[in-house]
Structures are given as structure tokens and as C-alpha cells.
Amino acid sequence: MKFQKTLLAISVTAFSSAVVASEAVQLDVASAFSTQTFFGKSAQNVSGDLEAMSDGNVSMRVYDPGELIPAFDILSSVSSGAVPAGWSTIAYFGGTIPVANLYGALPFSPTAEAVFSWTFDGDGRELLQSSLDQYGIKVLPCSYIPQEPGGWFNKEINSTEDFQGLSMRISGLGARVLNEFGASTQLIAGDEVYLALERGRVDAAEFSIPEVDNALGLSEIAENYYFPGWHQGAGWLALLINQSVWDGYSDVQQAQFETACRANIQREFSSVIPRQMEVLDDLRAQGVNVERFSDEILSEMHEAWQAVVEEERNENPTFGEAYDSLMNHAAMIEEWYDLQSLPSVR
């Protein structure tokens, strides 16, 4: 919080005189997530930061899914200019952009620190932007999503055989891993997950972090909440802006969007995890079984994942390039911590 206030104060001081001369703008943003949940509120927090540093001259109006367009239409709608901007996980675009699954839906992903370091100081953001250039979209990493839980299940998962015949809501490449064990998978928009699970359209569902899952009421339907989120490591939500709209902003306004997004990531990075543990305590008190997949299950899924990686690499060379870039960057960071590790002291 101290960092965020300092960042905003610096921005206000540096930009205030220039903003007075700039035309005030309000960006309409179609969100893939309800503003009643953490993910949607995150976009509103960015708008608040923009207003603070621009003296009210730059802001965003965030629309819930369906108010302007359906949640899964953000990429095409921002590209065409039907809406000027969208707020979404990049993973929703995995069927269109091969590298998208690396940005929020990567099984057995590196740590959050490695992911964000690669995004901002490695090749990550540049590789994604190059894929979005053909759609006329500017991408801004703008929110922090920690590693998610493994999902909600109506039965215990004691071996990979328990996935046989299971119908599950799951996004990204993790779905292909579960398909290897006989599960049927589908991607369902966030505002439809509760009904899909309640009405038996799926037997299990992963959607988000405990705070968001709890707000959706998933604990009312399924009692087994499994960790870890092998299918989806740490990632971020994106502010996607039509390139023509972005080009129409002044250098100062563009810098304010960049700064507000960075400030939002930092704020969430330091606050999100403690809140998830508080929610887990509440869920346990409600009778939810918070469990871990066995090491044997995780080992078998990791083996299946390696096969999926090779298939994806062969089908989409751009994915292979980006995947290797991320893993090489992560290995560099891991080596640093290996060198710095201390012996366990009891």
C-alpha cells in the first residue's frame, strides 16, 4: 500500500500539468467477470488509480458480462472496434492465439515471480503483443492471479482412474491433460459455472481462487475442494484496448494506463494470498473438505502434460518458442534461489 501511494503521488506530480492540456477520456471496458467479484472489482480499482493520478481526466467504465457483449466475445469485439476495450484472462483466447495459454492457464507453471519477471523483463509481453498485433489490440498486464486450486468435485479423487467419465469445467491446456484420463471437459463462462454444476451439466469445476469461487457459491454444490492448481499457475488479467483507441491517447495518458496497471498488480500481489487463506478457513468451517491431490496423481498428470506440450509445440511453433522462453527465464530465477537457499533450522 505504501508503494502504491508513493507511485500514485509521483505520477500525479509528473503528469498533472500535462493532463490539464489533454482531453478527458473515459474508456468503456467490457469485462469477462462480474464487478461483484474480485476480478471485476480489480478493473474498477485500476479506474480509481487512473482518476487519482490524472485529477479525474482519465477513467474507465467497467461493464459486467453481457451488458455490452458476452464474456467470450471480448477478443473479436475489441479487435473490430465494436467495443473499445475489454478486461479478461488471456487464457480465454487459447483457441485463437496459440501462445495465450502461457499467460494464465499453463499446467505445472513456474512461480508467480518467474511469470511476472518474464512478462515484464523477459520476452513474455513482447511475444504476446506480437500475436495480438494482427488483431489490432494493445495488451496491458493489469492484475495478479495467484495459482488457482485444482477444482471442486462431487466425489473424492483418489487416483487418475477417478477422472474416467468425469465431466468437468476447466480451461486451457489442462483440459487436454484430463482428456488423457478419460474426462470430458468444457469451457464455461464464469457467470454460468454455478448453474452448470448445480444442474449436473458438469460433475466438477475449476474456476478461480477461493475468494471468487466462494462468492459464486460453489461450496453450496460440491464439498471436495482440491489443491494444488496443477492446471493453472500464477498469471494475470489483461486490459485489452483497440489499437486505434490506444494510438489516440497522448503519451501522458498511455503512461497513466501503464502505471495504474503496474500499481494494481503490486497491490494485489501483497494482499491476495492472505485473503485466500481466510476464505479457506471459512470454507472448512462450512464443512468443505480441503484436500490435496496425491503425489502419484500429480506425477501421472505431469507425465501426460509433457506429451501435451510436445503436441502443442509441433502444432504451433510460436507456442514452442514462447514456452521455451518462459522456462529458460524461470530456470535462471530458480538458480538464484538455489544459490540463496538456507538449511532448514528447527
Residues 6 or more apart in contact with residue 208 via CB below 8 angstroms: 37, 39, 145, 148, 190, 216
Task: Check the annotation: does 232 bind a ligand.
Answer: yes
Task: Check the annotation: does 257 bind a ligand.
Answer: no
For the four alpha carbons of 150, 156, 162 and 168, in that order, the dihedral sign comes to negative
Task: Check the annotation: does 169 bind a ligand.
Answer: yes
Residues 6 or more apart in contact with residue 69 via CB below 8 angstroms: 30, 77, 82, 83
Number of continuous H segments (helices) and E segments (strands) in the chain: 12, 11
User: Can you say whether residue 106 is alpha, beta or left, with left for phi > 0 and alpha for psi between -120 and 50 degrees?
Assistant: beta
* Strand 289-292 versus strand 235-242 pairing type: unpaired
Task: Check the annotation: does 262 bind a ligand.
Answer: no
- Contact status, residue 234 vs residue 109, Cβ threshold 8 Å: yes
Residue type, 341: S
Task: Name the strand (E) or helix (H) holding 85.
Answer: strand 85-89
**Among 219, 209, 255, CA closest to 42:** 209
* CA distance linking residue 103 with residue 301, whole number of Å: 20
Task: Check the annotation: does 207 bind a ligand.
Answer: yes
Which of the 8 DSSP states describes residue 242? E
User: Is the previous residue joined to 146 through a cis bond, with omega within 30 degrees of 0?
Assistant: no
Binding-site residue set for Na(+): 207
Binding-site residue set for substrate: 148, 169, 206, 232
Binding-site residue set: 148, 169, 206-207, 232
